[in-house]
């Protein structure tokens, strides 16, 4: 034990101005009570200690700090009574201190050595605190003690503090808990005890604001503090490291995986107290129960290098993961470069990466393998197996972290499915959540289960279509061009083969080829004819040519060349057309995807696009889409301006693709303006939203009939390349759009060629009108 007066705060903490002094009276009173109550052999210890204190005649004395060491024998006896009987002195960081001040005067060598070593550390507050925060914490201790001792009013008394330091040798953090025992402090009042409204006080204390108020109600100079404080300092580095890992789990957000893992790996280093040991976490993520590559390096990335896509094919990766899952084993080697480890083939790649010591630990969650934790060093450092037990407190947290990563991965997959492949979008998700809850509630309560209809009433519809101009005509042209090329190749081949085969069957084949060519040149081919021509080539021509090549070896090379050319050119024009159409549709779809956040920002709306030969979309916006946000007509106007601007942008994008297209294709841009609200409902059979009600169905019918409408009294199609058209019924319908058109014309986005057109009557539709305007490239 050491007798040294030491300020634990290092002189940083400002001392409280309180009337306090060292006194053994509270401790002696405590011993006397315990001696009377104790029925075990401890009673003898307490009685002998009381005799010793009585002999020193210190019961009611205030002992000056500078004289306290004269009573070393009494201090030793206090240590004997308050410490664990079998605990060695070098295992305890324990001391006796001055009441209500951060000063100790007698303690174990361990405590004083710890405080001495602190000079070589960098102080690090676990939570940065201001001066007033420190003051508030000390007031809490003082006033909690006053309320307990004087008013018998118990409030939570925070007597423990945590302190963090950075070990300059390891570069790692170490954490220590400081616990104060204030049971042996007596509080007395000078004069009359002030009255307190404890009901109001408790409310304020609960809110954390009561202790400052108590400074005015109960000035500290009204009280005296007599006694001793017992201080215990313990190394809580392991507990704080695990606590930090769990905090990282709670505060995690998708997208911060890299930073999260760095923080966790640093905590694991802190736990093993070795900065040279590295950690990797490799969670096993699965799609359709098949292992797939993860995409976040959980540490230095060693396991992602060994098992990653840069080294292993998908099949080999899945084979190895399945093999490890079937027999998950712990592996440890202090030195994988040692001769005795050369037989382990799987270590070869670790050695190439420069790994020296290696431990691979399977990670389980709810008895299911969820990943592997890797612990390793680089070339110049090693660790022994004795380090591994230090990880034990964190294993549960690491298991949970692995499962969180897997859950987040699965959630991302579900979110992508929801956003990209289903009709359940974020804007309407809340409605599906309500319906699902009602369904679940009824099911759990044993009530009749009904699927609640999902409807949105009185929403404004916006419809747009980007169509590929004359796609049907272009497709027919491509088919005819492919078939004509095939027939030309066939006729040339048959003409050459006629020198070797003068049979009537050869003449018939040449004659039929000629008839098919005439039909193609007259553009009289239909789907049935195309099928018949394919049958003619496959069932008549090919079998005969195969027979001929076997009969006359001189024809084999000619026939093989024809078959090769025929396969190569069978659908070359159709493939070029499909490639060009795919380029347009992908570009348009990517543009709409890029506009998702822009669309949803002012007010949530439902946006659904679907492919025909081009891409069409429906947008629905209105108060029922987001009941908790006020809907205004300005939100509708904003969406209409976006609709017009986006059509101009798409026209420019598709026009810019022309030089790259194997078959040049143009697009047309159409907007149908409907100025009245409609109702929509989710159809569970088709998993999509559809209009509801007779009036709304008419809107849907109009959309399907206007794509090929013509200008009245002409043969001219309304939709034209390089143009945007807006179809409407009444002049009032385009009231919002006209200012936007003029705005885009002044910006140089649209030409000053606006046309107002009357359209032909369609079945069940009369009175259609349109605006048409050109796009500036």
- Our count of domains for the chain comes to 4
335-338 CB contacts, 8 Å cutoff, 24+ apart: 335/382
Domain boundary residue, one of 183, 200, 235: 235
Residues 636 and 715 in one domain: yes
Residue in the structure block whose two tokens are 């008549």: 540
Is 90 exceeded by the pLDDT of residue 772?
Answer: yes
Assign 106 to helix, strand or coil. strand
Is 60 exceeded by the pLDDT of residue 158?
Answer: no
pLDDT confidence band for 130 (50 / 70 / 90): low
Q: Are 102 and 7 in contact (CB under 8 A)?
A: yes
CA angle 763/765/771 to nearest 5° reads: 125
Is 80 exceeded by the pLDDT of residue 628?
Answer: yes
Q: What is the pLDDT of residue 719?
A: 95
CA distances from 599 to 151, 393, 449, 608, 619 (A): 63, 49, 36, 12, 10
Q: Are 569 and 490 in contact (CB under 8 A)?
A: no
Domain boundary residue, one of 573, 604, 623: 573
Over range 598-616, report the average pLDDT. Answer: 90
Q: What is the pLDDT of residue 124?
A: 42
Residues 495 and 531 in one domain: yes
Question: Which residue in 36, 63, 35 sits closest to 49, CA to CA?
Answer: 35
* CB half-sphere exposure, 328, CA atoms < 13 A: 15
Residues 188 and 319 in one domain: no
Q: Are 764 and 701 in contact (CB under 8 A)?
A: yes
d(CA 324, CA 363): 12
Residue 625 resides in a domain: yes
Mean pLDDT for the chain overall: 85
Q: Are 89 and 108 in contact (CB under 8 A)?
A: yes
Q: Which helix (H) or strand (E) holds 507?
A: helix 504-521
Residue 407 resides in a domain: yes
Over range 9-13, report the average pLDDT. Answer: 66
Residues 297 and 313 in one domain: yes
Residues 553 and 630 in one domain: no
pLDDT digit string (tens) for 724-747?
Answer: 999 999 999 999 999 999 999 999
Tokens of 608: 């659904």
pLDDT confidence band for 207 (50 / 70 / 90): low
Residues 198 and 187 in one domain: yes
Is 70 exceeded by the pLDDT of residue 570?
Answer: no
pLDDT digit string (tens) for 271-324?
Answer: 888 999 999 888 898 888 888 876 655 667 888 888 877 788 888 988 988 998
Q: What is the pLDDT of residue 420?
A: 63
Which phi and psi (to 5°) does residue 14 adopt? Answer: -80, 130
pLDDT digit string (tens) for 218-252?
Answer: 888 899 999 999 998 888 888 888 888 888 767 76
Q: What is the pLDDT of residue 159?
A: 52
Range of the domain at 409: 239-414
Residue 460 resides in a domain: no
User: Which residues are CB-contacts of 771 (< 8 A; sequence separation ≥ 6)?
Assistant: 725, 726, 728, 734, 737, 741, 754, 755, 756, 757
Q: Which helix (H) or strand (E) holds 724?
A: strand 723-728
Q: Which helix (H) or strand (E) holds 701?
A: helix 694-705
Strand partners, 717: 710
**Left (φ > 0), alpha (ψ -120 to 50) or beta: where does 715 sit?**
alpha
Tokens of 42: 């401890």
The larger pLDDT score, comparing residue 719 to residue 153, is at 719
d(CA 453, CA 209): 51
Which of the 8 DSSP states describes residue 734?
A: G
Domain boundary residue, one of 573, 605, 622: 573
Total number of residues shown for the chain: 777
**Which among 137-151, 329-343, 521-535 has the top mean pLDDT?**
329-343
Is 80 exceeded by the pLDDT of residue 182?
Answer: yes
Residue 431 resides in a domain: no
Strand partners, 680: 456, 691
d(CA 771, CA 723): 10
Q: Are 233 and 93 in contact (CB under 8 A)?
A: yes
Give the CATH number, domain containing residue 313: 3.30.450.40
Residue in the structure block whose two tokens are 């080999």: 316
Strand partners, 225: 20, 187
Q: Could you tell me whether strands 160-167 and 173-181 are parallel, antiparallel, or unpaired per DSSP bridges? A: antiparallel
Residues 284 and 397 in one domain: yes
d(CA 149, CA 8): 26
pLDDT digit string (tens) for 637-655?
Answer: 999 999 999 999 999 999 9
pLDDT digit string (tens) for 71-117?
Answer: 999 999 999 999 887 777 777 889 999 998 889 999 999 888 878 77
Q: Are 305 and 311 in contact (CB under 8 A)?
A: yes
Residues 44 and 141 in one domain: yes
CA angle 595/597/601 to nearest 5° reads: 120
Over range 423-444, report the average pLDDT. Answer: 80
Residue 58 resides in a domain: yes
Q: What is the pLDDT of residue 161?
A: 66
- Summary count for the chain: helices (H), strands (E): 24, 26
Question: Which residue in 698, 699, 681, 702 sits closest to 690, CA to CA?
Answer: 681
Over range 182-206, report the average pLDDT. Answer: 82
Residues 94 and 114 in one domain: yes
Q: What is the pLDDT of residue 125?
A: 41
d(CA 6, CA 108): 13
Residues 632 and 487 in one domain: no
Tokens of 349: 């790649």
Q: Count CB atoms within 10 A of the CB of residue 709.
A: 21
Residue 447 resides in a domain: no
* 361-383 residues labelled b (16+ CB within 10 A) or e (exposed): bbbebeeebbbbbbbbbbeeebb
d(CA 383, CA 389): 12
Q: What is the pLDDT of residue 584?
A: 95
Tokens of 17: 């101005």
Q: What is the pLDDT of residue 126?
A: 38
Question: Which residue in 337, 324, 335 sits closest to 359, CA to CA?
Answer: 335
Residue 479 resides in a domain: yes
Residues 20 and 151 in one domain: yes
Q: What is the pLDDT of residue 173?
A: 78
Residues 399 and 303 in one domain: yes
Which phi and psi (to 5°) does residue 764 adopt? Answer: 80, 5
Q: Are 304 and 279 in contact (CB under 8 A)?
A: no
d(CA 249, CA 255): 13
Tokens of 469: 């101009």
Q: Are 97 and 78 in contact (CB under 8 A)?
A: no
Assign 526 to helix, strand or coil. coil
Residue 211 resides in a domain: yes
- Name the E strands within 77-124: 93-97, 103-107, 121-124
Q: What is the pLDDT of residue 498?
A: 83
Q: Can you give the three-state secondary structure of 645-692, one letter per residue?
A: HHHHHHHHHHHHCHHHCCCCCCEEEEEECCCCCEEEEEECCCCEEEEE
Question: Which residue in 747, 758, 750, 745 sits closest to 722, CA to CA?
Answer: 750
């Amino acid at each position: 034990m050491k007798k040294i007066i030491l300020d634990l705060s290092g002189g940083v903490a400002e001392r409280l101005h309180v009337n306090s002094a060292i006194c053994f009276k509270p401790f002696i009173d405590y011993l006397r009570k315990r001696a009377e109550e104790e029925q075990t052999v401890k009673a003898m210890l307490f009685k002998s200690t009381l005799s010793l204190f009585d002999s020193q005649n210190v019961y009611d004395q205030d002992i000056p700090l500078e004289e306290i060491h004269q009573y070393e024998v009494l201090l030793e006896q206090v240590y004997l009574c308050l410490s664990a009987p079998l605990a060695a002195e070098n295992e305890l960081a324990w001391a006796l201190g001055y009441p209500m001040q951060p000063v100790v005067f007698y303690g174990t060598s361990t405590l004083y050595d710890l405080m001495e070593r602190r000079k070589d550390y960098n102080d690090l507050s676990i939570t940065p605190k201001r001066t007033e925060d420190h003051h508030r914490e000390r007031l809490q201790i003082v006033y909690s003690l006053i309320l307990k001792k004087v008013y018998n009013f118990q409030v939570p008394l925070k007597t423990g503090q945590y302190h963090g330091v950075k070990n300059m040798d390891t570069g790692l953090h170490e954490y220590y808990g400081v616990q104060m025992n204030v049971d042996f402090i007596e509080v007395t009042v000078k004069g009359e005890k002030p009255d307190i409204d404890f009901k109001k006080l408790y409310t304020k204390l609960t809110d954390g604001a009561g202790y400052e108020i108590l400074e005015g109600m109960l000035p500290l100079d009204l009280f005296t503090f007599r006694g001793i404080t017992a201080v215990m300092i313990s190394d809580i580095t392991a507990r704080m490291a695990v606590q930090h890992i769990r905090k990282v789990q709670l505060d995690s957000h998708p997208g911060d995986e890299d930073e999260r893992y760095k923080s966790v790996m640093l905590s694991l280093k802190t736990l093993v107290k070795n900065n040279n040991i590295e950690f990797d976490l490799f969670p096993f993520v699965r799609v359709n129960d098949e292992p797939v590559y993860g995409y976040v390096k959980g540490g230095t990335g060693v396991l992602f290098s060994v098992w990653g896509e840069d080294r292993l094919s998908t099949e080999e990766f899945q084979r190895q993961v399945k093999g490890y899952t079937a027999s998950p084993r712990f592996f440890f080697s202090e030195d994988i470069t040692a001769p005795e480890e050369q037989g382990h083939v799987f270590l070869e790649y670790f050695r190439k990466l420069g790994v020296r010591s290696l431990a691979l630990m399977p990670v389980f969650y709810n008895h299911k393998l969820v990943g592997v934790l890797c612990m390793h060093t680089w070339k110049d450092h090693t660790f022994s197996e004795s380090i591994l037990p230090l990880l034990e407190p964190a294993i549960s947290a690491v298991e949970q972290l692995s499962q969180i990563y897997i859950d987040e991965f699965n959630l991302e997959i579900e979110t992508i499915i929801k956003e990209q492949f289903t009709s359940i979008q974020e804007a309407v998700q809340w409605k599906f959540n309500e319906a699902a809850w009602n369904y679940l509630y009824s099911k759990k309560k044993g009530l009749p289960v009904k699927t609640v209809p999902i409807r949105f009433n009185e929403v404004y519809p916006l419809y747009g279509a980007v169509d590929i101009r004359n796609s049907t005509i272009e497709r027919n042209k491509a088919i005819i061009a492919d078939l004509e090329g095939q027939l030309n190749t066939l006729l040339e081949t048959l003409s050459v083969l006629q020198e070797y085969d003068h049979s009537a069957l050869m003449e018939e084949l040449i004659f039929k080829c000629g008839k098919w060519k005439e039909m193609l040149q007259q553009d009289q081919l239909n789907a049935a004819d195309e099928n018949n021509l394919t049958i003619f080539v496959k069932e008549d021509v090919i079998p005969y040519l195969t027979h001929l090549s076997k009969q006359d070896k001189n024809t084999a090379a000619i026939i093989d060349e024809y078959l090769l050319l025929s396969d190569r050119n069978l659908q070359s024009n159709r493939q070029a057309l499909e490639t060009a159409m795919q380029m347009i549709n992908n570009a348009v779809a990517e543009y709409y995807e890029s506009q998702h956040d822009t669309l949803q920002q002012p007010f949530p709306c439902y946006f659904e696009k679907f492919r025909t030969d081009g891409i069409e979309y429906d947008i629905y916006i209105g108060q029922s889409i987001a009941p908790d946000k006020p809907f205004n007509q300005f939100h509708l106007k904003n969406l209409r301006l976006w609709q017009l601007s986006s059509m101009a942008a798409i026209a420019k994008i598709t026009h810019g693709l022309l030089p790259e297209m194997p078959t040049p294709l143009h697009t047309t841009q159409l907007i149908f303006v409907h100025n009245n609200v409609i109702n929509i409902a989710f159809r569970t059979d088709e998993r999509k939203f559809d209009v509801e009600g007779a009036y709304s169905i008419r809107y849907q019918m109009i959309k399907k009939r206007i794509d090929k409408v013509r200008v009245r009294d002409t043969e001219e199609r309304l939709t034209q390349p390089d143009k945007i058209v807006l179809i409407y019924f009444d002049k009032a319908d385009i009231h919002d759009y006209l200012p936007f058109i003029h705005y885009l014309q002044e910006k140089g986005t649209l030409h000053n060629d606006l046309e107002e057109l009357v359209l032909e009557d369609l079945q069940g539709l009369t009175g259609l009108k349109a605006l048409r305007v050109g796009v500036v490239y």
